[in-house]
Amino acid sequence: MSVQKSTPEYIGQRLVSAREALGLTIRGAAKKLGFNNYQTLSDIEKGKRNINAHELVSMAKLYGRTLDYFLGQETAPDPVPLWRKPAETKEAETKGIQREFLEFLEQYSNLERLLKLKRRWKDIQTGHDREDFLQDGFALAHKLAAWIHGQLDLGTRPACNLLQVLENNLRFKILHLPLAGVSGACIVDNALGVGILINEHDAPWRRNFDLAHELFHVITWDVFSREEIGEGTKKTPPEQYADAFAASLLLPEDHLNEALEEVTTDGVIRLVDVVELAKDFGVSSEVVLWRLMGINVLKRSQVQKILSDPDFRDMDKKLREGLYQENPPTRFPGRFISLACRCLMEGRISRGLFAQYVHIHRAEIDKFLLTEGFVEQNYEKIASA
């Protein structure tokens, strides 16, 4: 039997769906909402007690939903990201992160819609299919990396440019969060566009590699099934292709060979040269070693021996100490902040919604706008575009 929209019973059903999507128990949600007794929330969810406006706003904020979601607007089921996470990660942890990620994508998409901005991510989706990868997946991954490098004009050190190019040229929505037990995620959705989630706690070179890894999954979104890819707990063939793609994209063969010639002495590669190459290209030393094997500079046995050497790992760590906190990621992309400021200045969103989007108090809005360079005089009309 259908339930009439906007009735206590309908709102209660929506509240249950929103809470369960976050992986919250009714007791946990009631505590976060400040109810003295979880029974109060239980009665609201069952439609036995009316909910007031303040309570509904608080719940919408906690659950990462719009008020329309609870009041009857037709909404599609939440799309499910492609996750990379250890086997021991709890489902409740993933659900909470997923809703936060999707809320960010929903807000970002709304800003783009209000400003009538087109998306460009379909430009780089491959025309290859699963059969192409079955023939020689690694060779095709390297070929795709070379093609993407040229298409995006990533230069000699792709890791330095990849994030900005994906955000500003292809309009990917990239969010950094402090993830516990989750390596990252990505999603391709017609309504939300492309979203990539990166662990802000990871070292810069790990974040670079993860971004390139997720880019492969975006490019091949319709090629492999979720069952084939897995959730990052095993190195399935598609996960191995993604790693090969990332290494090839971030370490283009020609540029890597040129850099190798510059750091080596008399054509002899030293352990310190490997670390210097890794620092130069913004990747890990392990990725450099396997890439050198891939272009036939080193043998597998050499790479395995180096990686198992504790002295090498210690040297690598010491030479990188100053880089761990270099260029820490901001929570929100600069483009997201810019679009939110534009929408506010042009009267497309309210101050309350703006504060919600950028996670600040309403009293901080004017100072925030000034810091970002958005002031009234900059919006003075000078000509018709």
DSSP string for 358-376: HT--GGGHHHHHHHTT--G
The better pLDDT of the pair 345, 323 is held by: 345
Name the DSSP class of 377. Answer: G
- pLDDT tier for residue 73 given thresholds of 50, 70 and 90: low
C-alpha 198/C-alpha 176 separation (Å) is: 5
pLDDT of residue 370: 93
- Whole-number average pLDDT of the chain: 89
CA-angle at 383, arms to 377 and 385, nearest 5°: 110
Is residue 240 scored above 90 in pLDDT?
A: yes
Tokens of 253: 């063969």
Nearest to 173 by CA among 220, 222, 108: 108
The stretch 267-272 carries a mean pLDDT of 91
Q: Is the model more confident about 202 or about 21?
A: 202
Instruction: Return the pLDDT at 196.
Output: 96
Relative to beta strand 173-177, strand 82-84 is: unpaired
Strands 193-199, 184-189: pairing is antiparallel
Question: Is 225 in a helix, a strand, or coil?
Answer: coil
- Distance CA(232)–CA(326), nearest Å, equals 27
For residue 22, the model assigns a pLDDT of 79
Instruction: Report the pLDDT averaged over residues 203-221.
Output: 95
From the CA atom positions of the chain, what is the Rg in Å?
Answer: 24
Could you tell me which of 260, 271, 256 has the C-alpha nearest to residue 306?
271
| pLDDT for res 192 | 92
Residue of 333, 328, 253 lying closest to 293 (CA atoms) = 253
pLDDT value for 1: 40
Taking the C-alpha atoms of residue 361 and residue 340, their distance in angstroms, rounded to an integer, is 15
- pLDDT, position 16: 87
- Domains parsed from the chain with CATH numbers: 1-75 (1.10.260.40), 108-250 (1.10.10.2910), 253-323 (no CATH), 334-379 (no CATH)
If one compares 16 and 122, the residue with the highest pLDDT of the two is 16
How far apart are the C-alpha atoms of 52 and 67, rounded to whole Å? 12
- 69-77's contacts with Cβ under 8 Å and 24+ in sequence apart are 69/14, 69/18, 70/11, 70/14, 70/15, 70/18, 71/5, 71/6, 71/11, 72/5, 72/6, 72/10, 76/191
Whether the pLDDT of residue 9 is over 70: the answer is yes
Confidence tier at 90 by pLDDT (50, 70, 90): low
Residue 83 confidence (pLDDT) above 70: yes
3-state SS class at 175: strand
Helix (H) or strand (E) holding 188: strand 184-189
Which of 36-40, 125-129, 156-160 tops mean pLDDT? 156-160
Q: How confident is the model at residue 261 (pLDDT cuts 50, 70, 90)?
A: very high
What percent of the chain is modeled with pLDDT above 70? 93
pLDDT at 313 over 70: yes
Task: Please report which confidence band the pLDDT of residue 2 belongs to, taking 50, 70 and 90 as the band edges.
Answer: very low
358: pLDDT strictly greater than 80: yes
Structure tokens given for 351: 């101050």
242: Cβ–Cβ under 8 A, 6 or more apart, which residues? 141, 213, 214, 216, 217
Flag whether pLDDT at 27 surpasses 70.
Answer: yes
**Banded model confidence at residue 92, pLDDT cuts 50, 70, 90:** low
The residue whose two tokens read 């290494």 is: 247
Query: Which pLDDT belongs to residue 88?
Result: 60
Pick from 17-21, 24-28, 234-238: least confident? 17-21
Q: Which of 63-67, 223-227, 330-334 has the lowest mean pLDDT?
A: 63-67
pLDDT above 90 as % of the chain: 58
Q: Which two tokens stand for residue 261?
A: 């010639």
Confidence band, pLDDT 50/70/90 cuts, at residue 330: confident
Residues 6+ apart with CB under 8 A from 170: 120, 121, 123, 124, 152, 194
Q: Evaluate if residue 86 carries a pLDDT over 70.
A: no
Spatial CA neighbour of 25 closest among 16, 34, 35? 16
